[in-house]
């Protein structure tokens, strides 16, 4: 039976060229409030990415590309060298907003390449090419999500229990998500999956975002605290783990939202297949291993105070708040890309893939 509600129509980021802005859903306010924000200046984009108003590796890449186009569009110069320097400066600035997801650098370097490759063209023409490139980055991402979904579907069976961590859904991408893509396609075919979402401390992307978008799409969704995942696995409720990721190193080590590593360790203990969903924009062959992936650390208040009416930790307590962790390649059953499922050994198989 097809589920006609598939998938929830959500656009994490889109361009409004007539109004010289990109429109995002402010994800810090979900699920209570779905309100839009209009980003115009590079500082608007930097701030929105930094405070996770727009988030998820592919979505921040798309937002940054739009940010560069809009900044370039406003530049009042016909001199190529001046134009190039400004665009390059904006790229460097936005790239510093978040360090872990390689999609940000990937999208920005695509934009910079457009400028560099067209040094003989008038600046006005380069601006049009930057518009095309930013739109291409968004469209390609939507296509990659669909393709990841089709490959994920080959691993899913009706009635399966699926565990996911963080939000690698529509809100994190330009399409139907990466980890959620197979879920949405399976639901469209009436698979009746049972999806478990880790709440994902400390910023609750699983509770606030994944549960929100899955429920709105009619998916059977159960929310659990992160520390419940192993118990749920021990009860035989999980048949497969699907998560997104922020950067895959050349050896297959994969960075994703903090807590993913414990899910992978637990999955191995219980013999549950653990898959990472990664568009090629997330694969960084220039990064040899997970140890080379920069891990973002975020403010202590996200752990001690946020979401609470009064602080839930003693004043002055030391807080360590890494936003991501790295799952070693040996715990990953496969990496689901838009071109197929990459199996170990990742050193060889990822190199052949890209
Ligand atoms: O800090 P966030 O919310 O941007 O972290 C997001 C994740 O870790 C996602 O799983 C990842 O970016 C993949 S999104 C398709």
Integer-rounded Cα radius of gyration of the chain: 20
Question: 131 with 244, same domain?
Answer: no
Question: 82-136, pLDDT tens digit by residue?
Answer: 999 999 999 999 999 999 999 999 999 999 999 999 999 999 999 999 999 999 9
105 falls within a domain: yes
Question: 94 with 237, same domain?
Answer: no
305 falls within a domain: yes
3 falls within a domain: no
Question: 138 with 165, same domain?
Answer: no
Angle (CA) 64 30 220, round 5°: 110
- Of ligand 1's listed atoms, the one at least distance from the Cα of 178 is 15
Question: Is omega for the bond preceding 243 within 30 degrees of 0, making it cis?
Answer: no
Among protein residues, the one with the nearest Cα to ligand 1's atom 15 is 168
- Per-residue pLDDT for 1 more than 90? no
Question: 137 with 153, same domain?
Answer: no
- Per-residue pLDDT for 5 more than 80? no
Q: What number is the average pLDDT over the span 213-239?
A: 97
- Are 54 and 27 a contacting pair, CB within 8 Å? yes
- Per-residue pLDDT for 3 more than 80? no
Question: 70 with 191, same domain?
Answer: no
Q: Which residues contact 242 (CB under 8 A, 6 or more apart)?
A: 152, 162, 163, 164, 179, 180, 182, 183, 275, 277, 336
- Are 116 and 84 a contacting pair, CB within 8 Å? yes
C-alpha 50 – ligand 1 centre gap (Å): 13
pLDDT above 90 covers a percentage of the chain that reads 96
Active-site residue flag, 246: yes
- Are 221 and 299 a contacting pair, CB within 8 Å? no
Q: How many distinct structural domains can be found in the chain? A: 2
Closest C-alpha to 215, from 180, 165, 241: 180
- Residue 307: pLDDT band with limits 50, 70, 90: very high
Q: What number is the average pLDDT over the span 200-223?
A: 97
C-alpha 56 – ligand 1 centre gap (Å): 4
Among protein residues, the one with the nearest Cα to ligand 1's atom 8 is 257
Q: At 23, which helix (H) or strand (E)?
A: strand 21-25
- Tell me the C-alpha distance between 61 and 102, whole Å: 8
* Lowest mean pLDDT across 3-17, 68-82, 257-271, 279-293: 3-17
Q: What number is the average pLDDT over the span 138-150?
A: 98
Q: Which residue reads 């609750």 in tokens? A: 204
- Per-residue pLDDT for 139 more than 90? yes
Q: Which residue reads 């653990």 in tokens? A: 274
For ligand 1, mutation pick of 25, 102, 106, 166 (most atoms within 8 Å of CB): 166
Give residue 11's pLDDT. 87
**Protein residues whose CB sits closer than 6 Å to any atom of ligand 1:** 52, 55-58, 101, 166, 168, 172-173, 178, 205, 244-246, 256-257, 323
Backbone angles phi, psi at 194, to 5 degrees: -110, 110
- Are 71 and 115 a contacting pair, CB within 8 Å? no
Closest C-alpha to 69, from 110, 118, 119: 110
- Of ligand 1's listed atoms, the one at least distance from the Cα of 179 is 15
- Residue 9: pLDDT band with limits 50, 70, 90: low
Question: 342 with 217, same domain?
Answer: yes
Question: 76 with 164, same domain?
Answer: no
Q: What is the CATH number of the domain that holds 302?
A: 3.40.50.10470
Q: What number is the average pLDDT over the span 305-326?
A: 97
For ligand 1, mutation pick of 60, 175, 244 (most atoms within 8 Å of CB): 244
Q: What is the mean pLDDT of the chain?
A: 96
6 falls within a domain: no
Question: 31-73, pLDDT tens digit by residue?
Answer: 999 999 999 999 999 999 999 999 999 999 999 999 999 999 9
Q: Which residues contact 168 (CB under 8 A, 6 or more apart)?
A: 56, 177, 178, 179, 180, 210, 243, 244, 245, 277
Give residue 352's pLDDT. 77
- Of ligand 1's listed atoms, the one at least distance from the Cα of 173 is 15
Residue 209 token pair: 């975002």
Residue 264 token pair: 């992978």
Backbone angles phi, psi at 108, to 5 degrees: -65, -35
126 falls within a domain: yes
Give residue 351's pLDDT. 87
Cβ–Cβ contacts within 10 Å for residue 318, how many?
6
> Last residue of a domain, which of 142, 165, 182?
142
pLDDT above 70 covers a percentage of the chain that reads 97
Residue 79 token pair: 């001199």
The string of DSSP letters for 138-155 reads HHHHHHHHHHHHHHHHTT
Catalytic residue among 44, 198, 246, 284: 246
Domain region containing 135: 13-142
Q: What is the CATH number of the domain that holds 22?
A: 1.20.120.420
27 falls within a domain: yes
Closest C-alpha to 197, from 158, 159, 169: 169
Q: Which residue reads 């890449």 in tokens? A: 61
Question: 262 with 190, same domain?
Answer: yes
- Tell me the C-alpha distance between 144 and 176, whole Å: 9
Q: How many residues does the chain have?
A: 354
Question: 93 with 161, same domain?
Answer: no
Give residue 7's pLDDT. 53
Backbone angles phi, psi at 287, to 5 degrees: -105, 105
Question: 165-182, pLDDT tens digit by residue?
Answer: 999 999 999 999 999 999
């Amino acid at each position: 039976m097809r589920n006609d509600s598939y998938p929830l129509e959500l656009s994490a980021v889109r361009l409004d060229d007539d109004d010289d802005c990109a429109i995002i859903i402010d994800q810090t306010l979900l699920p209570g409030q779905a309100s839009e924000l209009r980003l115009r200046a590079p500082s608007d984009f930097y701030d929105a990415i930094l405070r996770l108003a727009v988030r998820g590796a592919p979505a921040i890449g798309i937002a940054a590309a739009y940010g560069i186009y809009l900044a370039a569009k406003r530049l009042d110069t016909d001199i190529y060298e001046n134009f190039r320097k400004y665009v390059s400066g904006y790229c460097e600035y936005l790239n510093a907003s978040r360090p872990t997801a390689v999609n940000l650098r990937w999208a920005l370097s695509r934009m910079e390449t457009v400028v560099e490759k067209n040094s003989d063209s008038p600046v006005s023409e380069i601006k049009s090419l930057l518009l095309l490139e930013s739109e291409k980055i968004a469209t390609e991402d939507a296509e990659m999500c669909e393709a990841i979904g089709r490959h994920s579907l080959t691993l899913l069976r009706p009635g399966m229990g699926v565990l996911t961590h963080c939000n690698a859904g529509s809100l994190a991408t330009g399409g139907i998500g990466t980890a959620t893509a197979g879920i949405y396609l399976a639901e469209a075919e009436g698979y009746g999956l049972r999806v478990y979402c880790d709440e994902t401390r400390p910023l609750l992307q699983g509770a606030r975002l994944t549960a929100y978008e899955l429920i709105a799409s009619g998916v059977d969704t159960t929310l659990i605290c992160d520390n419940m995942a192993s118990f749920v696995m021990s009860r035989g409720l999980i048949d497969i783990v699907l998560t997104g990721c922020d950067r895959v190193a050349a050896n297959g080590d994969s960075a994703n939202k903090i807590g993913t590593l414990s899910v992978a360790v637990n999955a191995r203990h219980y013999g549950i297949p653990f898959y990472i969903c990664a568009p090629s924009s997330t694969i960084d062959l220039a990064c040899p291993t997970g140890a080379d992936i920069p891990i973002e650390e975020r403010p202590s208040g996200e752990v001690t105070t946020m979401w609470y009416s009064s602080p839930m930790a003693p004043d002055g307590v030391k807080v360590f708040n890494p936003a991501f962790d790295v799952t070693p390649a040996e715990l990953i059953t496969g990496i689901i890309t838009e071109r197929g499922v990459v199996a170990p050994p990742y050193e060889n198989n990822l190199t052949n893939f890209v």
